[in-house]
Amino acid sequence: MTTAAVRAQAGTDERQDLRNVAIVAHVDHGKTTLVDAMLRQTKAVGGHGDLEDRVMDSGDLEKEKGITILAKNTTVFYSGPAAAEHAGTEKVTINVIDTPGHADFGGEVERGLSMVDGVVLLVDASEGPLPQTRFVLRKALNAQLPVILVVNKTDRPDARIDGVVSDTMDLLLGLASDVAEENPDLDLDSVLDVPVVYASGKAGRASTEQPADGGLPENEDLEPLFSTILEHVPAPRYDADEVLQAHVTNLDASPFLGRLALLRIFNGTLRKNQQVAWARNDGSVKTVKITELLATKGLERVSAESAGPGEIVAVAGIEDIMIGETLTDLESPKPLPNIIVDDPAISMTVGINTSPMAGRVKGAKVTARQVKDRLDKELIGNVSIKVLPTERPDTWEVQGRGELALAILVEQMRREGFELTVGKPQVVTREIDGVLHEPMENMTIDAPEEHMGAITQLMAARKGTMTTMTNNGTGWIRMEFMVPARGLIGFRTKFLTETRGAGIASSYAAGYEPWKGEIEYRISGSLVADRAGSATPFAMINLQERGTFFVEAQSEVYEGQVVGENSRNEDMEVNITKEKKLTNMRAASADSFEGLTPPVKLTLEESLEFANDDECVEVTPESIRIRKVTLNASDRLKESRKKKSAAQ
């Protein structure tokens, strides 16, 4: 039985003073900004406007990348006129779950939806529904949650509100039909009865009346949004005679309390210092004590004596508790079902740093035990990844939803002081009826129409098949492709180059299909250092016609390090440490290096995209380098000959 089934079988009692709602959307459609406005207008943090922008994106990486990575919850207390009208109380507590918009972090979305009774679907007034919109909406329909459509950013000058509402309703109808085939209990009439709210999260305004394209909603606050939530999101239902059932949906940590378990109470009452049964994922049941119970108020957690059905709280005192486990009654324990997430599609190897420069960063974490402990720690709070052993010593295979999710994990470890060797991302295949299958992605691309030829050629080389193409007459086209997930490894950089930075591409998982054949990821080779030393300007000036460099002059290099990209489709061993011979001859420009082209600085994601099959990425707290898996050129040649003879 799923959590959705548990919610559907709840009793007839309702908590009218409480609403639990998740905000879901495509990346950058304004979820976190809308939550900011909700917090400000309910004065959740002590006043109007004393809140920094995108306060829910609390992590450094979230702030830098401008995306939500971890699902987070906050609480607002609404006491407007709609409270009495729709809830019959003076004040209503609204628990808001801010979820990621990227499909790579789908595990966070699935956990967030298990905590709520309704969904606010945010759609950009210009871009309309995009791949992640489809992804999160399908999850909401599978969970049988009512949906409220919010058309955000109505004040965009290129807004097309009518078209966006029509596209979203078409998407909802199509998804509802698909989900109904899998779930006959789904009530299509209630699903398609979707209220529409028009909003500008940045301006903090909403209305149920459609404004003109490019205009602000007529209302000066978010009152219509709050009213719609209270009217259409059902109050939590429970059975007053049922025993305690509280589902762990997330984990956090406190320097004073240790591990915190975030959970939703479906039935019963949870009290501070209470003895409860802890139903674990392995089927065992233990008796534990709730040493601290924390409720959320605004952005802070405060101590509470008790919490009832429908509430989302945090508890301390259970050191090894995991996501998906249940706190229940001691006398008659009734565990809830585990949280089900989609299988990983992309994998890469993560191991200790084995380069000649390993261990040079003071205080860096370089041992295999430290790396394995950190990966095990990630498994505790991230249900979307798997860590598997490999045949190579001190190396593990990490599987996740997508390249971005795995790169985020490695970047977090790098900032925590780890040194790693990271392999090129690969796809996780499976055998179905004796035939090798690979994960597929449905890719949507928005780009100026003059780049259509370059995009179709790029996708064709990666085994992509165009399914639809739409031209809205604005100079931009929207194309949808079905493409193997491995075809998107290294795709982003080439795509931005081909569209001169103007294109927008996003995708979501679309099941498995038979293996599509070999894909050529790179048409260029690598410039590989043939010896250790310092890169000299003299050598780099003589070599720069061969390609583009990744290292700066005077930086230290080692044998087997990839120091640049070769313009030809082959690897080239280069002596980047060659020094100028001393002579008595002088020349006016002999020591002038103004003609040296500045190197290209690759980020971690770009390095993973660039790396070839026989290359990996060295990650340290201070630098990121691409290197050959086998550093010695002679050994690489022997391995290449062995592979050729084995293939024959």
Assess contact for 358 and 366: CB atoms under 8 A.
Answer: yes
472 appears as a binding residue in the annotation: no
Assess contact for 337 and 6: CB atoms under 8 A.
Answer: yes
Assess contact for 301 and 287: CB atoms under 8 A.
Answer: no
Cα–Cα distances in angstroms (integers) from residue 377 to residues 28, 110, 320, 381, 492, in the given order: 29, 20, 11, 7, 30
Place of tokens 């209220």: 195
Place of tokens 């971690």: 604
104 appears as a binding residue in the annotation: no
75 appears as a binding residue in the annotation: no
- Backbone φ, ψ for residue 386 (5° rounding): -130, 145
33 appears as a binding residue in the annotation: yes
Q: Cβ of 584: how many Cβ atoms within 10 Å?
A: 4
155 appears as a binding residue in the annotation: yes
Copy the structure tokens of residue 13: 């009692």
**Distance (Å, rounded) from C-alpha 623 to C-alpha 617?**
10
Place of tokens 């917090």: 39
Copy the structure tokens of residue 350: 């993560």
Cα–Cα distances in angstroms (integers) from residue 128 to residues 41, 163, 166, in the given order: 27, 8, 9
**Distance (Å, rounded) from C-alpha 443 to C-alpha 515?**
18
Cα–Cα distances in angstroms (integers) from residue 415 to residues 351, 397, 408, in the given order: 16, 21, 11
247 appears as a binding residue in the annotation: no
Compute, in degrees rounded to 10, the torsion defined by CA atoms 442, 446, 448, 452.
10
Q: Which residues contact 314 (CB under 8 A, 6 or more apart)?
A: 252, 260, 261, 262, 263, 293, 294, 296, 301
- Backbone φ, ψ for residue 292 (5° rounding): -150, 140
**Distance (Å, rounded) from C-alpha 158 to C-alpha 129?**
15
**Distance (Å, rounded) from C-alpha 624 to C-alpha 615?**
13
Residues that constitute the known binding site for GTP: 28-33, 152-155
Residues that constitute the known binding site: 28-33, 152-155
